[in-house]
Amino acid sequence: MNNEKLIELRSISKSYDGEKVLRSIDLDIHKKEFVTLLGPSGCGKTTTLRIIAGFENPDEGEVIFEGKKINEIPPYKRHINTVFQRYALFPNLNVYENIAFGLRLKKLSDEEIKQRVSEMLALVNLKGFEKRDVTSLSGGQQQRVAIARALINKPEVLLLDEPLGALDLKLRKDMQVELKRMQRQTGITFVYVTHDQEEALSMSDTVVVMANGEIQQIGTPEKIYNEPENAFVADFIGESNIVNGTMIKDYLVSFAGQTFTCEDAGFAPGEPVDVVVRPEDIDIVPVENCMLTGKVTSVTFKGDYYEIIVDIDNFKWMIETTDRVKPGQTIGISIDPYEIQVMKKSEFSGMFGDYSTFSDEMEHLSELPAEDAE
């Protein structure tokens, strides 16, 4: 990855039927970068991708590619290729011809096409599948054909729209690794759209978290996870306890009726803030030398740890621990200063981070893809 900007989005806005889908998006994508647009359905990530591909025109703003504005350039003239959500393979062509599609348009010789197709088939591990009918392939295989079909054109950028959404968990994990490998091998910039935070964190160089048509945070996976900028990001990436707090002064924040040292500075003294503590960062300690005490309301066995919900000062916290506790038991907890992340108040404050109505099922429901609505 270098710092040369490849694609720049400048104040992109877009609405459908009067409904704003994108509100003034600014985004830089660098060469050889693996960028993931992450967000819940309807956040505008697919629209952003389609604007880059050229399938949509922004209402306002500029799309800049290698320093040139490309708003008016139709998709077929952009050096950008797309891997579609449901592959969009041409059912009338076999695997070979699907992959060769772009090269045929360039009127390359049959020999050259054969050579490049073989390379691609090797890249996506589909050697020997040339004559197969694409409709007879499994989802994962179709996905590989779709990727090969796009990559063979040697695009500057490959756009991937939830490419793994239709695959089962095991296959998804394998493909994640493979995609990353292919990206490294080809050195092509990948712009990847997903609603799966785990996928985003494990594959990307840069994660762009989006919600309500706006970018919430841009950063490396570590930064996004460890230093979420607002309650939305904190909640969307992993589990978080988000509580109201007040910044007393730099490196000192109060919440849950106690004052804690932290590593954040730059807030006005007395400023109300959101405080994030990840469930796995909370230690259970004897009540005598604890920072906070709370009453355990539920315990769920998760295999390598227990997930417990603790009522602290009428706020339900989630704690992941290996210690055995019992519901009804009063426990003491302790949080290290570097585990406390202080964030500015945002429109999302108070919407997330309380586990009083938490259940696994709810979590899954909220994650169901509903991209079709877009």
Partner 1 sequence: MTATVKKSRRSLTAAPHIVWAILFIIAPLIFVAVYSFTASDGSFTFENFAALGDYTDAFVRSASYSLIATFICLLIGYPLAYAISNAAPKMQRILIMMVMLPMWINFLIRTYAIMKILEDTGIINTVLQAIFGEEFELHMINTPGAVIFGMVYDYLPYMVLPIYTVLQKLDPKLSEAAADLGCNKVQTLFKVTLPLSVSGIVSGITMVFVPSISTFYISQKLGGGQYLLIGDAIETAFGNTTTYNIGASMSLVLMIIVLLSTAIMNRFDKSENEGGAIV
Partner 2 sequence: MTRVKSKNSAISKIYAILIYVILYFPIAVMILFSFNDSKSMTNFTGFSLRWYRELFNSGKAFEALKYSLLIAVLSALISTVIGTLAAYGIFHMRSKALKRTVQSVTDIPMMNPDIVTGISMLLLFAFIQVIFGLQKSLLGFGTLLIAHITFNVPYVILSVLPKLKQMDKSLVEAALDLGCTPAQSFFKVEFPMITPGIISGAIMAFTLSLDDFVISNFTIGNTFETLPIMIYSMTKREVTPDMNAICSIVFVVIFALLLLSNIFDGSRSAAASITEKLRKNSKVTAIVAGCVAAVLLVGSTLLFIFAPPPAELTLNIYNWGEYISDGSDDSFDVIEGFEEWYEETYGKKVKVNYTTYSSNEDMYNKISSGATEYDIIIPSDYMIAKMASEGMLEKLDFSLIPNYKYINDDLKGLYYDPDECYSVPYTYGVFGIIYNSAKVDEADVEAGWDLMTNPKYSGKILQYNNPRDAFGVAMYAQNLDVNSKDRAVWQQAFDWLAKQKPMVQSYVMDEIYNKMESGEAYISSYYAGDFLFMYENNEDLAFYQPEAVNYFIDAMCITKKPTRDAETYELCNLFINYMLSEEAAVANAEMLCYASPNSLVIENEEYIEYMSDIHEDAMDILYPEGLDFKAKYEQYAYLGLDAETNKLMNSLWSQLKVSAEEDEVEITNYISLGILAVIAGTAVFFFIRKKKRAKYY
Q: Please list every residue from 113 through 132 that binds partner 2, using CB under 8 A.
A: 113-114, 130-131
Query: Please, what is the minimum distance in Å from the beta carbon of residue 348 to partner 2?
Result: 30
Smallest gap from Cβ 101 to partner 2, in A, equals 12
Q: Are 239 and 318 in contact (CB under 8 A)?
A: yes
Q: Is 163 in the site for partner 1 (CB under 8 A)?
A: no
Site string for partner 2, 45-84 (x = CB under 8 A): -----x----xx------------------x---------
> CB-side exposure of 70: number of CA atoms within 13 Å?
24
Report the C-alpha gap between 206 and 361 in whole angstroms. Answer: 30
Cα-based angle 319, 325, 330 (whole degrees, multiple of 5): 85
**101 vs 358, which CB is nearer to partner 1?**
101
Those residues whose C-beta lies under 8 Å from the C-beta of residue 336, and which sit 6 or more positions away, are 281, 283
Which one of partner 1, partner 2, none is in contact with 131 (Cβ closer than 5 to 8 A by kind)? partner 2
Select from 83-91, 94-102, 196-204, 241-249 the region that touches partner 2 (CB under 8 A).
Answer: 94-102
Contact code string over 74-113 relative to partner 1, x by CB under 8 A: xxx---xxx-xxx-xxxxx--------xx--xx-------
Instruction: In angstroms, give the least distance from the CB of 50 to partner 1.
Output: 9
* Residue numbers 229-268 binding partner 2 by CB under 8 A: none
Of partner 2, partner 1, none, which one does residue 134 interact with (CB within 5 to 8 Å by kind)?
Answer: none
Q: How far, in Å, CA of 153 to CA of 140, rounded?
A: 21
Using the rule CB under 8 A, is 358 a contact of partner 1?
no
Q: Is 147 or 215 the residue whose CB approaches partner 1 more closely? A: 147
d(CA 175, CA 141): 10
Question: Near partner 1 by CB under 8 A, which window of 145-153, 221-229, 298-306, 309-317?
Answer: 145-153
Residue 140 corresponds to which tokens in the numbers above? 């994962």
Q: Which of 217, 199, 219 is nearest to 209 (CA)?
A: 217
Element housing 190 (H / E) = strand 189-194
For the record, the structure tokens of 245 come out as 């707090």
For residue 161, state whether it binds partner 2 (rule: CB under 8 A).
Answer: no
Pairwise CA distance, residues 333 & 287, whole Å: 8
Bridge-based pairing of strands 206-211 and 34-38 is parallel
H or E segment to which residue 175 belongs: helix 169-186
Q: Is 90 in the site for partner 2 (CB under 8 A)?
A: no
Tell me if 107 contacts partner 2 by CB under 8 A: no
- The partner residues of 310 in beta bridges, in order of sequence, read 296, 317
Going from the C-alpha of 37 to that of each of 208, 304, 360, the distances in angstroms are 5, 31, 25
Site string for partner 1, 27-66 (x = CB under 8 A): --------------------------xxx-----------
One-character DSSP codes across 221-278: HHHHHHS-SSHHHHHHSS--EEEEEEEEETTEEEETTEEEE-S---PPTT-EEEEEE-
Region binding partner 1 by CB under 8 A among candidate stretches 36-44, 108-116, 147-155, 244-252: 147-155
**Shortest distance, position 115 Cβ to partner 2, whole Å:** 10
CA pair distance 78, 56, nearest whole angstrom: 13
Is 373 a binder of partner 1 (CB under 8 A)? no
The verdict on 341 binding partner 2 (CB under 8 A) reads no
**Burial class of residue 33 (count of CB atoms within 10 Å of its CB; 0-12, 13-18, 19+):** buried
Choosing among partner 1, partner 2, none, which partner's interface includes residue 36 (Cβ < 5 to 8 Å by kind)?
none
Size of the site for partner 1 (CB under 8 A): 24
Asked whether position 338 contacts partner 2 by CB under 8 A, the answer is no
Instruction: Map residue 220 onto helix, strand or coil.
Output: coil
Contacting residues toward partner 1, per CB under 8 A = 53-55, 74-76, 80-82, 84-86, 88-92, 101-102, 105-106, 149-150, 153
Task: Give the binding site for partner 2 (CB under 8 A).
Answer: 50, 55-56, 75, 94, 96-97, 110-111, 113-114, 130-131
